[in-house]
Amino acid sequence: MNMIVCCKQVLDPEAPPASFKIDPATNKVVPPPGVPPVISPFDEQATEAALRIKDKLGGKITVISLGNNLARDVVKKPLSMGADELVLLEDEAFEGGDSWSTAYALAMAITKIGEYDLIFCGRQAADWDAGQVGLGIAEFLGIPSVTVAKKVEVIDTKARVERVLSDGYEVVEVTLPALITVSNELGQPRYATLKGIMVAAKKQPIIWKPANIGVEPSQIGATGRRLKLFRLFQPVKEAKCEIVGGDSPAEMGINLALKLREAKTI
């Protein structure tokens, strides 16, 4: 099994909402000081999905991350979990892309890698929440895709995927090669082992510039966008919460119920 996992480095989505800031002049998010970036959580689950297949059938897992100035200890995490190879599409020209230009560059890199049976992506990246790049890569490569997987198994020449629906799930069989996007229902990604961390520390990522994958800088990153960002802003919220008092928790409970009756919500 040759597998590829696309992992994006993002701002930590679990950082406290109060620390979230935008620079209106540049339409960009200001990274909160002291909060390191992370691999987008669904991408860790995508890595886990590939590792579970490798555990059973063996094979090679290549991770690709696209961006600029990527933090090595962050993007190496999938290696420390058990992935084999790391390819970084790292250049200024890759920055500021939308789903279109990102999927295009990733598809070109995957074409260069050449051999693959399964490609995994997260269902959506935790920064822009687009949820498109996986399907886009599949369209570029002309391969089938299945989204929001909670379980993936390979049986002969097919993958059997449990796909999450709003009222349950369906089991889908897809011919290989295929692209699968993974959701949190897959379960906890494994922790890095000490040995894994040591192996990852020594491993040099392969770095590709636009020319290495045969793309023009104008087709990728911010200049390759099809969706123009017009404005980025924080919705204003006025705190108006009325906290009920009480001498004991039980009294608070009673007062809260009375409040709701008073406000005619019950």
Partner 1 sequence: MAEYKGVMVFGEVAEGKLASITTELLGYGRQLADELNEELSCILAGNRISGLAQEAIAYGADKVYIADDPQLSDYQGDSYSLVVAEIMKENPPRIMLLGQTSIGRDLAPRLAFKFQVGLAMDCIELSIDPNSKLLQQTRPVYGGNAWATFVCETFPQMATVRQKAISSLERNESRKGEIIPVTVKLDPARIRTKIVDRVKEEVVGIKLEDAQVVVSGGRGIGSPEGFKQLEELARILKGAVGATRPPCDNGWVPTTWQIGLTGKIVTPDLYIAIAVSGASQHLAGCSGAKTIVAINRDPEANIFKEARFGAVGDWKQILPAFTEKIKELVAE
Ligand X SMILES: Nc1ncnc2c1ncn2[C@@H]1O[C@H](COP(=O)(O)O)[C@@H](O)[C@H]1O
Ligand Y SMILES: Cc1cc2nc3c(=O)[nH]c(=O)nc-3n(C[C@H](O)[C@H](O)[C@H](O)COP(=O)(O)OP(=O)(O)OC[C@H]3O[C@@H](n4cnc5c(N)ncnc54)[C@H](O)[C@@H]3O)c2cc1C
With respect to ligand X, which residue has the nearer C-beta, 128 or 169?
A: 128
| Using rule CB under 6 A, residue 7 touches ligand X | yes
SS3 state of residue 88: strand
Q: Distance of alpha carbon 73 from its chain centroid, rounded?
A: 17
**Which residue is nearest to ligand X, using beta carbons?**
122
CB of 147 to partner 1, least distance (A): 5
* Contacted entry of partner 1, ligand X, ligand Y, none for residue 47, CB cut-off 5 to 8 Å set by kind: none
With respect to partner 1, which residue has the nearer C-beta, 147 or 205?
A: 147
- Give 188's DSSP letter: P
Which positions from 31 through 90 interact with ligand X, judged by CB under 6 A? Answer: 40, 42-43, 46, 64-67
Which positions from 43 through 102 interact with partner 1, judged by CB under 8 A? Answer: 98-100
First to last CA, the chain: 58
Residue entry with tokens 């570029």: 140
Residue 178 β-bridge partners: 118
| Using rule CB under 6 A, residue 41 touches ligand Y | yes
Q: Are the C-beta atoms of 212 and 3 separated by less than 8 Å?
A: no
CB of 221 to ligand X, least distance (A): 10
Residue entry with tokens 């890569």: 137
Contacts of 176 (CB under 8 A, 6+ apart): 117, 118, 154, 157, 158, 159
E strand intervals along 91-197: 118-122, 145-155, 158-165, 168-175, 178-182
Which positions from 198 through 227 interact with ligand Y, judged by CB under 6 A? Answer: none
| Using rule CB under 6 A, residue 126 touches ligand Y | yes
CB of 240 to ligand X, least distance (A): 33
- Choosing from 128, 160, 203, 219, the residue that interacts with ligand X (CB under 6 A) is 128
* Contacted entry of partner 1, ligand Y, ligand X, none for residue 43, CB cut-off 5 to 8 Å set by kind: ligand X
